[in-house]
Structure 1
Amino acid sequence: MRKLDNRGIAAFEFCVVAGVFFMLVFAMVDFGRYAITMQSLRHLAGAGARAMMIACYTPAVISNNSPAGCTGDYLSSTEKQNTAPFLYAGGLTPTIDTTSGGGMLTVTARQPGFAMLIPIWGTSLNAPSASTQVPFSP
């Protein structure tokens, strides 16, 4: 019986296992980056809501008048960067929007230029956003 030539088997097995292993490692890094971005956006939205309450909740608003004029961003760019420094990595800049309706003021923080590193996830996780709602009596 002739002995089979097994040269190159270890290299082939390494390629198969390494491909799956590195894909798994990059996926964990990608989802970790997404999780940190979402947590930073939640923190930034909370800080924006606090700044909006301090700036807008005047005695007229506390007397059950609608804070309709409370729209916009009440944090300076330095305050944003101190609150969530990770969001400024790679030259990206987060945005904060405030909307009102239904007895709630909604402060939304967005990261418009964010994209996942591995394109197999599609675009559903690109441009994440987080919101915080502040109730008021209309």
Structure 2
Amino acid sequence: MRKLDQRGMAAWEFCIVGGVFFTLIFAIFDLALYAITMQSLRALANAGSRATMINACYMDAAIGKKTPTCSGDPLSDTAKRTVAPFLFSGSLTPTLSITGAGPYTITASQPGYIALLPIWGTALNAPSASTKLPFPG
């Protein structure tokens, strides 16, 4: 009886197992990158809320029991780089905005963020984190 030729079977098995293995490894890297980005965005939103509270637009209004008029970006790019340097990797730049009247919402977002693997679709693209800054009335 003739023995079947087994040449190339190891390469074929590596293709099957390696594809699943590398997809799993890159998925772990992708989710870790997203978690670090979200944590950095939360830190940036909190730093923006602290800057807004200390800024005259909020503190003077709170002391005088008036409605504050805060708008724009409360942090400079240098301050943003100090708080969340990871967000400036590549050519990305985070944005920080204030919305609302009375209870303000400070939102930090990372436009242009794209996940490494296409298996997530658009679920992980454009992450953002926000914090509310209530007005003591």
Same fold (TM over 0.5): yes
Asked if 2 retains the 8 angstrom alpha-carbon contact of 1:40 and 1:86, the reply is yes
Match of 2:93 in 1: 93
Q: How many residues align?
A: 136
Match of 2:82 in 1: 82
Provide the rounded CA distance (Å) in 2 between the counterparts of 1:131 and 1:16: 43
Structure 1 unpaired stretches of 5+: none
Give the superposition deviation at 1:49. Answer: 0.4
Match of 1:65 in 2: 66
What whole-Å deviation, never above 9, does each CA across 1:94-128 have from its counterpart, x for those lacking one?
00010114x41100001001010111211121011
Asked if 2 retains the 8 angstrom alpha-carbon contact of 1:65 and 1:137, the reply is no
Identity %: 61
> Secondary structure of the equivalent of 2:89?
helix
Q: What TM-score do you get using the length of structure 1 for normalisation?
A: 0.92
Amino acid at match of 1:128: P
Provide the rounded CA distance (Å) in 2 between the counterparts of 1:90 and 1:58: 36
Match of 2:111 in 1: 112
Amino acid at match of 2:76: S
Backbone CA RMSD of aligned residues: 1.3
Structure 2 unpaired stretches of 5+: none
Give the superposition deviation at 1:2. Answer: 2.5
Match of 1:17 in 2: 17
